[in-house]
C-alpha cells in the first residue's frame, strides 16, 4: 500500500506540517493546548472540510483529543460544521476571519476572567476596610482601588481591540 499514490496520505506534506507548527506555536501564546493548534492548523490549510477521523489519522492523535479539541474550537467560533455530504460523518471547516476568531477568544477566555476578577476585587475591598491599623487600611484601600482602575481599563480596551481586528 503506497501512500504516496493515493489521495489520502496519512503523513502531512511539508506545507501542512509547517502550517500546523505555526499554529501550535500560535495557540501556545494564547495558553491553549498544542492539539488545538494542530487541529486548527490542518483545517486552515485544507481545501476540503475534514472529519474527526481525518484529524485522528493525519495528526496521529487520539479520538478523545480530537473530539475535545473540536468542541473547544467550536465554542470559540473558530471551527464550524460544513454542509454535510452524503455520509454519516460530520465535516469541519475553519473560520478564517480574524474578527470572528478574536471575538470568540475574548468572549470565552478573556471576559470570564475579567468578570471573576471583578468579584474577587469586591471581596478584597471588604477585607481591606477591615484592617484595624488606619495607616495599613488606607494603603490597602488605595492599592485595591488601583486594581479596580486596571480592570476598568481592561474592560474599555476589549471592544476597541475587537474593532481594530475587524479589518
Partner DNA sequence: CCCCGAGTTCATTTTAGATTGAACTGAAAA
Partner DNA sequence: TTTTCAGTTCAATCTAAAATGAACTCGGGG
Residues that bind a copy of itself (CB under 8 A): 14-15, 18-19, 21-22, 25-26, 29, 31, 44-45, 47, 96, 98, 110, 113, 116-117, 120-121, 123-124, 127-128, 130-131, 135-136, 139-140, 143, 146-147, 149-150, 153, 156-157, 160-161, 164-165, 167
Of 41, 58, 65, 144, the one binding DNA (CB under 7 A) is 65
- The binder of 127, among DNA, a copy of itself, none, by C-beta within 5 to 8 A per type, is a copy of itself
Cβ at position 91, least distance to DNA in Å: 7
Among DNA, a copy of itself, none, the one that 35 touches (CB under a kind-dependent 5 to 8 A) is DNA
Which residue, 88 or 146, is less far from a copy of itself as judged by CB? 146
By the rule CB under 7 A, 26 interacts with DNA: no
Question: Among residues 83, 81, 76, 67, which one has the least CA distance to residue 35?
Answer: 67
- Comparing CB distances to DNA, the nearer of 18 and 62 is 62
Amino acid at each position: 500500500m503506497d501512500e504516496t499514490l493515493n489521495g489520502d496520505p496519512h503523513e502531512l506534506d511539508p506545507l501542512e506540517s509547517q502550517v500546523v507548527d505555526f499554529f501550535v506555536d500560535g495557540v501556545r501564546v494564547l495558553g491553549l493546548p498544542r492539539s488545538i493548534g494542530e487541529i486548527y492548523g490542518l483545517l486552515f490549510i485544507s481545501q476540503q472540510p475534514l472529519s474527526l477521523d481525518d484529524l485522528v489519522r493525519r495528526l496521529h492523535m487520539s479520538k478523545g483529543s480530537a473530539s475535545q479539541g473540536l468542541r473547544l474550537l467550536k465554542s470559540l467560533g473558530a471551527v464550524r460544521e460544513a454542509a454535510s455530504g452524503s455520509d454519516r460523518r460530520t465535516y469541519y471547516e475553519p473560520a478564517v476571519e480574524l474578527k470572528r476568531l478574536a471575538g470568540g477568544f475574548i468572549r470565552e477566555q478573556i471576559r470570564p476572567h475579567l468578570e471573576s476578577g471583578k468579584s474577587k476585587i469586591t471581596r478584597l475591598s471588604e477585607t481591606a476596610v477591615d484592617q484595624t491599623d488606619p495607616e495599613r487600611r488606607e494603603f490597602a484601600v488605595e492599592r485595591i482601588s488601583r486594581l479596580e482602575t486596571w480592570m476598568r481599563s481592561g474592560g474599555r480596551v476589549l471592544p476597541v481591540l475587537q474593532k481594530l481586528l475587524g479589518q
